[in-house]
Amino acid sequence: MAPPVISLRNISKKFKKVEALKGIDLDITPAEITGIIGPDGAGKSTLLKICAGVLSFHGTATFMNTDIRRHPERIKKYLSFMPQGLGLNLYMDLSVEENIDFFAAIKNVPDAERDRLKDQLLRATGLEPFRARWARRLSGGMKQKLGICCSLISNPEVLLLDEPSTGVDPLSRRQLWEILNGFITEKGTTLILTTSYMDEAERCHSVRFIHDGNVLFSGNPEELMREEKDLEDAFFKMLLAGKELTTYDIPFRNNVSKNGSIAIVISGVSKHFGSFKAVDDVNLSIQHGEIFGFLGPNGAGKTTLLKCVLALYKPDKGSIRIMELQSGSPELRKTVGYMSQIFSLYGDLTVAENIELYGAIYEIEKKDLKERMQWVIDVSHLAGMEDTMVGKLPLGIKQRLALGCSTLHLPSVLILDEPTSGVDPVARRSFWQLIRLLSDKLGMTVIVTTHNLVEADYCDRIAIMNEGKVIAVDTPENLRNEFIHHSGDVYEIYPETGLDAKIFSERQIEVAPFGRRYHIWKKGLSENEIKALMDSHKIGYRFIRTIPPLMEDVFIYFLERKR
Amino acid sequence: MKLGGNTLKRIFAITSKEVKEIVRVRLFLMLAFVVPFIMFNVFAYGISLDIENMPFGYIDYDHSQISSQLIEKFKGRNFDMKGEMFSPQQADKLLTSGELRAVLVIPPDFSRELYRGRNAEVQFLIDGGYPYRALTIKGYCQAIILSFNRELIGEKIQKTGGRMTTGQPIRTETRYLFNESLKSSYALVPSLIAIILLMNPAVLTALAIAREKEFGTIYNIYSTPIKKWEFLVGKIIPYLFISALNFTVLVITVRFLFQISMKGNILDLIPGALVYILINVSFGLLVSSVTRTMVSAQIVTVIVTVIPAFLYSGLLIPVTNLEGGAKIMAYIYPTMHFMKIIHGVYLKNLNFFHLLPQFLLLVLYFCILFSLGILAFRKREG
């Protein structure tokens, strides 16, 4: 095996009182994709910055045999580092081309080499037509693609990307992975990336699972997937480490009767901001007691639509009826609960004070409030912390508390805008459990938005949104079946050795590399055909199996069909 | 330190990126050019206007022809004559309430003393609530007494048949040199150039680096082979040019908007001004090395540069009137030394060589501050 390109021994890092890393050992294999995964605040970014030589630390670290601590400047000509956040390494007031040129100049790329690689990258990312456009005017996905172009222009030996796909729309995410996979195969680049999306880890050759400053797992994703159906479940088990996920019950009943079967009707709603169509002719009806998800990338119009439902925005066209009342009717105030995208609690008030405040706003009677407050405190794991300032709580707990507060008045309709954004997988899962409970026990109709397509399976029905339009509405299962019906089953192949993806693409088979595995699909493609194809190229394989299509692929399918 | 082709290329890449950003973002453009111009004018007009039409009263216990002559002298542009007060109590009340800024008290034996050929004394009661204004009023009063004295001496010479007398008929203590007309703006308005050229380059530079830290683009610098001095030099070049342009605009403004002409030659002022700009750019650099956000960079810059400059540079309170720590501050801050150059060229017609000590001192400041700025900037985080 090739010697590691980066080698960390007993690395620790303290920020004031917080220990971000607690003596980590880690090796990175060259010419592979290594995924550093883990919940938020696990220390992933810290680790990446140490590898890039932009953060001080304790311990021994070498980068291509150079001591990072002693000679951080010597390693920088070999690496490219992209910090976390959409397009945060870009200069927003420079054009696409100027950004790339700037990076080339500070990284000493000769002009001829720069121009050649620039053309190649711009074509691959689909940014070619936007050369002269300012970075500010690019969409989130385009910014991230440009960020990757800027990182690749110096043809680095090692590419360090901090959460490259967070907040990127599915189509751009797919392109991003295509470029990265291409680069690794063609140039033998070592790629290290961090992610809090567990599904993304499956695309890596090798993963390091970081939790609370320690490495919990180091190895190939395939090793974990033997026992669990996907990595998320595997990591979830590791995080819980034998502990059971707490279950709750609701000690009180909702007195809202389920009189009609349809809770919300949205008909022909459009909302424009200037010439920008944030919401474009949306028609939907949501049933009583349903968990209904709006899925789509940032900027798809999810929040705007919710704000129309809440009568915070007046739609330019169309109408919305909630529980047979016009949206915005004063009677609705007590039947609708809302948790906004921006943290809606007061950081300078204690847990109990926040709950009391919401109780007062919703005019809940004293005797009811006591019981409900106890419940909110139980479900947000805050027993004994009633007097803690909310500002000091971790995000996952805050979100549960906010959810509790928005349900204090036992609304019939609960509207949650991106409640799980930035929440780690464990907290996310128990958050969804809570939503399910509210829906099952109290018959609440819950509307949730999320940009994380993986969360589709937590919903009864979903609406996929893109550019203000709803492009598909159904249960996640039906949407997948429709994909399979039109595009064929999705197969996962785990070859013994590496293979050239061309053997599939030249037969018009869709192919996406996932670490050492490949996902392939084509209408009418059978397992026997694949086996024959593999045999004809003399490629052995550990398994070929059908898997449910990824929601991301389903999304792209519907998007392309709409077009 | 080799200046290879790549070094120049990297510096140029930083500079041209910075220029594009400044030109394309209206806010930066405003900060760079409009804000300093407006601030200069606000300060300059504010200070000059406050000094005109000062409400003025008098108490005349003498009621002689000569005392009326003296009072007549105060009915000029500088003072707004409110008339006679009939008691010290009334004068006191009006001074307290701000309805009067100064009161002239002429004692009962004023004319008698003068006719006897002796020195007479008058008293000025000045609202000292705002020391700078009080000093200016004092200056006006002394100037008026001075010119009144000349007239008296002239009359006396005529009467005595050309024989010179020594001594001033009315006693004055201070003479204002180099600003004979005692128009405060002659001394003040050019001094304000030093304040604007302090604040603007410092704030702009601090913001320029803090901006990259706040947005995250600083990691491009941290994680690439560019050397930190290359980055810093490339970064400050545009601000040097902006400030040089602002300097030109301000000199023109002083000449044509405020009608104050320079006694010396502008060429003697330029070298000092350029070094002074470099000092303040380095100041901003130093500040931005210890701050993380644009807001904190701006606040810290204002606190460590502008406020001490206002208080201890001799702008509002003459350095000679400062004591102890304040006086030490005045000498430590470069602003006072640059103001000496400004005064030298504007008011005293001094040339570059007369002002060489101050100039060399500024060069020393620059060397120290810029070195500190480079040392304090680190290509990695804590």
Nearest CB neighbour to B219, from listed A81, A101, A102: A81
Structure tokens at A356: 């009391």
**Structure tokens of A7?**
């080698």
- Take residue B232 and report the two structure tokens written for it: 């810093």
- Position B164 scores a pLDDT of 47
Burial grade of B138 (CB within 10 A; 0-12, 13-18, 19 or more):
middle
Q: Report d(CA A171, CA A471) in Å as an integer.
A: 14
The closest of A180, A122, A139, A79 to B220, measured between CA atoms, is: A79
Q: Do B25 and A93 touch (CB under 8 A)?
A: yes
Is B10's CB within 8 Å of A108's CB? yes
Say what the pLDDT of residue B180 is: 44
Residue A471, SS3 per DSSP: strand
Closest CA to B215 of A298, A125, A136: A136
Q: Is the pLDDT of residue A259 over 80?
A: no
Burial A135-158 (b: 16+ CB within 10 A, else e): beebbbbbbbbbbbbbbbbbebbb
Do residues A399 and A462 share a domain? yes
Q: Which residues contact B139 (CB under 8 A, 6 or more apart)?
A: B174, B176, B182, B184
- Residue range A32-39: average pLDDT? 89
In this structure, is residue A248 part of a structural domain? no
- Using a 10 angstrom Cβ sphere, with 0-12 exposed, 13-18 middle and 19 or more buried, the burial of residue A366 is exposed
d(CA B378, nearest CA chain A) in Å:
9
Q: What is the model's pLDDT at position A399?
A: 86
pLDDT of residue B186: 66
Q: How far is A343 from chain B (nearest CA, A)?
A: 22
- B25–A contact, CB cutoff 8 A: yes
Q: Within a 10 A sphere around the Cβ of A493, how many other Cβ atoms? A: 23
Residues A312-318, mean pLDDT to the nearest whole number: 92
**Of A240, A275, A296, the domain-final residue:** A240
Shortest distance between the Cα of A104 and any Cα of chain B, in A, equals 9
Helices A96-106 and A111-125 pack at an angle, to 10 degrees, of 140
Question: Residue A105 and residue B379: Cβ atoms within 8 Å?
Answer: no
Distances (CA, A) of A45 to A6, A134, B219: 16, 28, 13
Residues A525 and A411 in one domain: no
CATH number for the domain spanning A386: value is: 3.40.50.300
Is A254 among the domain residues? no
Lowest-confidence pick of A69-78, A167-176, A507-516: A167-176
**Total count of residues recorded for chain B:** 382
Choose the final residue of a domain: A419, A443, A474: A474
Whether the per-residue pLDDT at A260 is higher than 60: the answer is: no
CB B313 within 8 A of CB B322: no
Cα–Cα distance, A318 to A268 (Å, whole number): 4
Residues A40 and A55 both lie in one domain: yes
Nearest CB to A83; choose among B12, B13, B219: B219
In a shared domain, residues A73 and A199: yes
pLDDT tens-place string over residues A89-126? 999 999 999 999 999 999 999 999 999 999 999 998 88
CA distance A40 to A423: 7
Question: Quick one: A67 and A146 in the same domain?
Answer: yes
Sign of the torsion formed by the C-alpha atoms of A49, A51, A55 and A56: positive
- Residue A245 covered by a domain: no
Both tokens of A387, joined, read 């007097």
Mean pLDDT, residues A464-480 taken together: 93
**What percentage of chain A reaches a pLDDT higher than 90?**
48
Q: Which of B29, B211, B223, B233 to mutate to test the interface with A (most CBs of A within 10 A)?
A: B223
Of residues A352 and B149, more confidently modeled: A352
Percent residues over pLDDT 70 in chain A: 96
Q: Which two tokens stand for residue A205?
A: 């050759």
Q: Would you tell me how many other CB atoms lie within 10 Å of the CB of residue B252?
A: 10
Give, to the nearest 10 degrees, the angle between helix B184-215 and helix B334-347.
Answer: 140
Chain B residue with minimum CA distance to A110: B6
Q: Answer with the residue of higher pLDDT: B272 or A198.
A: B272
Q: Do B12 and A88 touch (CB under 8 A)?
A: no
DSSP classification of residue B328: H
CA distance A101 to A120: 14
Mean pLDDT calculated for residue range A32-61: 91
Same-domain status, A360 and A405:
yes
Q: Which of A442, A474, A506 is the last residue of a domain?
A: A474
For residue B240, the model assigns a pLDDT of 94
Q: What are phi and psi of A2, to 5 degrees?
A: -65, 145
Residue type at position B302: V
- Within 13 Å and on the Cβ side, how many CA atoms surround A477? 1
CB under 8 Å to B128, separation ≥6 — which residues?
A: B134
Q: Tell me the mean pLDDT in the region A248-256.
A: 64
Does the distance separating the beta carbons of A88 and B217 come in below 8 Å?
A: yes
Q: How many residues in total does chain A contain?
A: 563
Question: Which H, E and C letters describe A308-338, residue by residue?
Answer: HHCCCCCCCEEEEEECCEECCCHHHHHCEEE
Taking one residue from A and the other from B, the number of pairs with CB-CB distance under 8 angstroms is 86
How far is Cα B72 from Cα B66, in angstroms, rounded to an integer?
A: 10
Looking at the structure of chain A, the number of domains it has is 3
* Domain boundaries of chain B, sorted by first residue: 5-47+183-376, 53-159
Q: What is the CB neighbour count within 10 angstroms for residue B19?
A: 14
CA angle centred on A272, ends A266 and A275, rounded to 5°: 150
Same domain, A202 and A274: no
* Segment B295-311, tens digit of pLDDT: 999 999 988 888 888 78
Neighbours of A97 (CB within 10 A): 16
Residues of A with CB under 8 A from a CB of B: 15, 49, 52-56, 72-73, 76-77, 79-85, 88-94, 98, 101-103, 105-108, 134, 154, 160
User: Which residues face A279 on adjacent strands?
Assistant: A271
| Assigned domain for A256 exists | no
- A255 within some domain: no
Residue A25 has pLDDT above 50, yes or no: yes
When mean pLDDT is compared across A33-42, A454-463, B239-248, the lowest value belongs to A33-42
Q: Is the dihedral of CA B308, B309, B313, B318 positive or negative?
A: negative
Same domain, A95 and A191: yes
Q: What is the DSSP letter of A142?
A: H
Tens digit of each residue's pLDDT (9 = 90 or more) over A497-553: 878 888 898 999 999 888 888 999 999 999 999 999 999 999 999 889 999 999 889
Question: Are A266 and A134 in the same domain?
Answer: no
- For B381, which DSSP code? B
Pick out chain B residues at pLDDT < 70. Answer: 1-4, 47-51, 129-132, 160-186, 316
Please indicate whether, in this complex, the C-beta atoms of B215 and A88 are within 8 angstroms of each other. Answer: yes
Domain shared by A275 and A417, yes or no: yes
Residue scoring higher pLDDT (A151 or A421): A151
Is there a single domain that holds both residue A393 and residue A356?
A: yes
Q: Are residues A284 and A427 in the same domain?
A: yes
- CATH code linked to domain B53-159: 3.40.1710.10
Å between B370 CA and nearest CA of chain A = 22
Note which residues in 49-78 of chain B have CB less than 8 A from chain A: none
Nearby residues of B103 by Cβ (< 8 Å), 6 or more positions away: B56, B57, B58, B59, B85, B91, B94, B95, B124, B125
Range of the domain at A74: 6-240
The CATH number of residue A547's host domain is 3.30.70.980
